[in-house]
Structure 1
Amino acid sequence: MPHAVARLRTTCLATSLTRPHLDRGPVRKERCPRCRLVPSHCLCALRPVVPTHAGVCLVMAEFEPLKPSNTGWLIADVVPDTVAFGWSRVAVDPALLALLDDPRWQPYVVFPGEFATPERVVTELVPAEPDTLARPLFILLDGTWSEACKIFRKSPYLNRFPVLSLHPDQLSRYRLRRSTHAHHFCTSEVAALCLALAGDLHAARTLEAYLDVFSSRYLRARQSVPPDPDDAAHQRLRALSR
Structure 2
Amino acid sequence: MKTSPNKHCVDLLRELCKTESIRPFTARGSRAARCPHCLMTEFACFCHLRENQTSPVEFILLIHRDEIHKPTNSGRLIADLFPDDTQAYLWSRTEPQQTLLDHIANKQGNCTILFPNTEKAKEQKRPFRSVIPSSAKGDDKHTFIILDGTWKQASKMFHQSNWLKNIPHFEINSEAQRSFLVRHSSHEMQFATAEVTAMLLDTLGHKEHSQQLLNYYKAFNQHCLISRQRGGNAQI
The normalised TM-score by structure 2 is 0.83
| Residue 143 of structure 2 corresponds to residue 137 of structure 1 | yes
- Give the match's secondary structure for 1:63: helix
Native 8 Å contact 2:134 2:142 kept in 1: no
- Give the match's secondary structure for 1:191: helix
Partner of 1:237: none
Equivalent position to 1:37, from 36, 40, 60:
40
Render the CA deviation track for 1:151-182: whole Å, top value 9, x for unaligned: 1012222222211101211449599xxxxxx3
Following superposition, the deviation at residue 19 of structure 1 comes to 4.6
Counterparts in 2 of 1:155 and 1:218: CA distance versus 1, 3 Å: same
- Give the match's secondary structure for 2:95: coil
In structure 2, give the amino acid aligned to 1:41. Answer: A
Q: Gapped runs of 5+ residues in structure 1?
A: 176-181, 226-242
In structure 1, give the amino acid aligned to 2:54. Answer: P
C-alpha distance in 1, partners of 2:126/2:152?
A: 24
Indicate the structure with greater helix content: 2
Partner of 1:110: 114
In structure 1, give the amino acid aligned to 2:27. Answer: L
Q: Pairwise mapping of residues 51-200 of structure 1 onto structure 2 (< 5 A)?
A: 51-80=54-83, 81-103=85-107, 106-114=110-118, 115-117=120-122, 120-129=127-136, 132-167=138-173, 168-169=177-178, 170-171=180-181, 173=185, 182-200=188-206
| Residue 233 of structure 2 corresponds to residue 221 of structure 1 | no
Following superposition, the deviation at residue 7 of structure 1 comes to 0.8
Aligned-pair Cα RMSD in Å? 2.4
- Give the match's secondary structure for 2:166: coil
Which segment is superposed worse, 115-124 or 9-18? Answer: 115-124
Amino-acid identity (%)? 30
Partner of 1:2: 7
* Paired residues, number: 216
C-alpha distance in 1, partners of 2:135/2:94?
A: 32
Following superposition, the deviation at residue 132 of structure 1 comes to 4.4
In structure 1, give the amino acid aligned to 2:79. Answer: A
Native 8 Å contact 1:104 1:134 kept in 2: no
C-alpha distance in 2, partners of 1:222/1:105?
A: 44
Native 8 Å contact 1:174 1:215 kept in 2: no
In structure 2, give the amino acid aligned to 1:16. Answer: S
In structure 1, give the amino acid aligned to 2:53. Answer: V
Native 8 Å contact 1:122 1:164 kept in 2: yes
Native 8 Å contact 2:126 2:165 kept in 1: no
Following superposition, the deviation at residue 5 of structure 1 comes to 0.7
In structure 1, give the amino acid aligned to 2:190. Answer: H
- Give the match's secondary structure for 1:109: strand
Native 8 Å contact 1:64 1:143 kept in 2: yes
In structure 2, give the amino acid aligned to 1:107. Answer: C
C-alpha distance in 2, partners of 1:86/1:132?
A: 30
C-alpha distance in 2, partners of 1:157/1:37?
A: 35
Render the CA deviation track for 1:3-43: whole Å, top value 9, x for unaligned: 1111111111111223552234xx61111111111111111
- Give the match's secondary structure for 1:135: coil
- Give the match's secondary structure for 1:35: coil
C-alpha distance in 1, partners of 2:79/2:186?
A: 18
C-alpha distance in 1, partners of 2:23/2:130?
A: 40
